[in-house]
Amino acid sequence: MKTRWMIAPRTLILFISYTLCALFLVKAGFSLEGEEKKGLVTYVEGMAKKQKLQDVDWLSVAQNTPVVGGERVRTFSESRAELELARVDRIRMAPKTTIDILKLYEESKEQVRESTVLLQSGDLWANIAQKDEKVKFSINTPVAAAAITGTTLRLSAGADSSAELKVYSGEVVISNVPGDSSTPTKRPALQPHQVEGPREVEGPRQVSLQEWSLIVRSMQKVRVDKRGQIVQSGSFNSSDPDEQSEWVKWNREMDGRK
């Protein structure tokens, strides 16, 4: 006699429910991982475009347009844009600004998640969340690299590749030894030698042509010339004329909405 196994309707319903729930969680996990590896354009005023670093064609950028590693984003005259990365970090681009997203939370061999943004030209404002030792975030210019964690900053790159960094909160380690980058940078030819560890920013002074690294803290600034050498460093004040610009006021207002 053959034995027939009967499954109670309630048991069958529970089994199907648990199965669907498990599939949903697995899919959501993969989706979350993908979301963390891409950014989103959360604000556009005027005109902005993006392109793959290897491509020639530009695509128009609108609110909610995704951005990923290996893309270049550009704003035009009387335009600005905000990018949200991994849902916690924000970068805002002033008019006539171009950035390359070289890496976006890519995992290295050491299991460190790395993000690298190259400011080719223009002015950007960054509000970067606190990072642990397993996450590295840097914003570079053609002549300097800034390692960032838990920081609000403003960074500009001039037409001659000179750069200026202002830190509003937190701290940044800036150097003239940009990290690994797929885009060539304009740097002086330096002879191999040992590089000193980062030191705190000092008052305005001239430095010789050598590699350097500085810790720039809240309400301090550093200016770097086209050769990658410090020409000015020190403190700044919120009452300075430059801090009264519409660009600074707008960014402070946007930060207050977070």
- Specify the pLDDT at position 110: 87
- Specify the pLDDT at position 204: 46
Mean pLDDT of 242-254: 96
C-alpha torsion angle, residues 224, 233, 206, 177 (rounded to 10): -40
- Specify the pLDDT at position 231: 95
Give the least confident one: 33-47, 104-118, 137-151, 230-244.
33-47
241 pLDDT higher than 80 = yes
Question: How do residues 93-107 score in pLDDT, each as one tens digit?
Answer: 999 999 999 999 898
Report residue 257's pLDDT band, with 50, 70 and 90 as the boundaries: confident
92 pLDDT higher than 50 = yes
Question: How do residues 174-230 score in pLDDT, each as one tens digit?
Answer: 998 654 433 333 333 323 334 345 555 555 444 445 789 999 999 999 999 999 999
Question: How do residues 120-159 score in pLDDT, each as one tens digit?
Answer: 999 999 999 998 888 999 999 999 999 998 999 999 999 9
Mean pLDDT, the chain, integer: 82
Question: How do residues 52-89 score in pLDDT, each as one tens digit?
Answer: 999 999 999 999 999 999 999 999 999 999 999 877 89
Question: How do residues 16-33 score in pLDDT, each as one tens digit?
Answer: 555 554 444 444 443 334
243 pLDDT higher than 60 = yes
Question: How do residues 158-176 score in pLDDT, each as one tens digit?
Answer: 999 999 999 999 999 999 8
- Specify the pLDDT at position 195: 39
- Specify the pLDDT at position 105: 85
Contact 73, 81 (CB under 8 A): yes
- Specify the pLDDT at position 248: 97
CATH architecture classification, 12-184+196-256:
Sandwich (2.60)
